Structure 1
């Protein structure tokens, strides 16, 4: 059971309702993570704002790869379940590719460099080496895209940490939800 109880309808602050409605429209349901975060409109709006801004960076498959690599390092069944759900249902990504992502790799060499770099950012707490930067640049990423990889890594870490603290009950259908 989640360590922070999910609010019922009337317990959800009014300032959180627009974000929850938008998430429900996008996904077809309101995930427990967002319902729990709705207790603090500032946190819900901050998480949603960062996710919205970063949704316009890189390509979707690379973002899925970063999400899985970061979540694998940070742990947590909730984020693993939701990332698997969105990757398979919205990204049409195979189980084999998801497994590579979780290892910090990808079948596409350029994407693999981004996913490996994100994993390195988490493992080193951002203290990557010049060689790490050179590798992602040599794969074809511009400095602006490297900053986006780092920001996505932080975004996924933030939701990993929130869900790990809350011990959010998995409500996502799919193989990781069992």
Structure 2
């Protein structure tokens, strides 16, 4: 049980539609992350997250770029669960440690193109998609396109489900996140 009485479901006690998705997650990852276990309460929420996660892999971004954007979104949303998880997932995707640490600390990246992506994803999150033409132009001037602009929204939607779920449920960290714990800057006044 989590804060606000959210249950951590497993395959045996989840609603049938969620159990099928959890089974797929178990097969793909070798375990079921606590986020998925919380989302299983709502088969629609779990399916939405799992579907968006798969669609995000089809965006125009490389695995490194995708993780840079995810970390940037997570930083703005102050999700401690996702920051811990995506820190390790980013390492697995070969994101350099200096970039991961910079984002975790709210600092710019050394690589100009990746910095443009970090900044754009952060602005979209912070400003709920309301950006100036200059902000969009700066992103595209770094080598991105209108497709990239829209692909950032796919990543935003994916993280909206996970970040907000974790805030509401205070999802406990998974064991694979050990050593990647993170304290949010506290600008949003959230604890999870």
Q: With structure 2 as the length reference, what TM-score do the two structures score? A: 0.84
The answer to whether residue 137 in structure 2 is matched with residue 134 in structure 1 is yes
Unaligned runs of 5+ in 1: none
Q: Which moved more, 1:104-113 or 1:74-83?
A: 104-113
Distance in 1, matches of 2:149 and 2:10, equals 40
How far does residue 130 in structure 1 lie from its aligned partner after superposition? 0.8
- Distance in 2 (alpha carbons) for counterparts of 1:121 and 1:64: 16
Give how far 1:169 is off.
0.6
Larger helix proportion, structure 1 or 2?
1
Root mean square deviation, CA, Å: 1.8
Matched, 1:79 2:78: no
**TM-score, structure 1 normalization:** 0.90
Compute the displacement of 1:8 (Å). 4.4
Is the 2:2–2:172 contact (alpha carbons within 8 Å) kept by the matching residues of 1?
yes
Q: Deviation string for 1:76-130 (max 9, x for gaps)? A: 2211111112112x21333321022332643322122111101011111111111
Cα offset, 1:155, TM superposition: 1.8
Runs (4 or more) in structure 1 with deviation over 4 Å come to: none
The worse-fitting range, judged by mean Cα deviation, of 74-83 and 153-162 is 153-162
1:50-129 correspondence to structure 2 within 5 Å:
50-57=52-59, 58-88=61-91, 90-102=92-104, 103=106, 105-129=108-132
Q: Residue 45 and residue 25 in structure 1: after superposition, are their counterparts in 2 closer, same or farther (change >3 A)?
A: same
Mapped to 2, the partners of 1:23 and 1:137 lie a distance apart of 35
Q: Does the Cα contact within 8 Å between 1:121 and 1:127 map onto a contact in 2? A: yes
SS in structure 2 at match of 1:21:
helix
Count, aligned residues? 177
Q: Which runs of 5+ in 2 are unaligned?
A: 183-192
CA contact (8 A) 1:105 1:113 kept: no
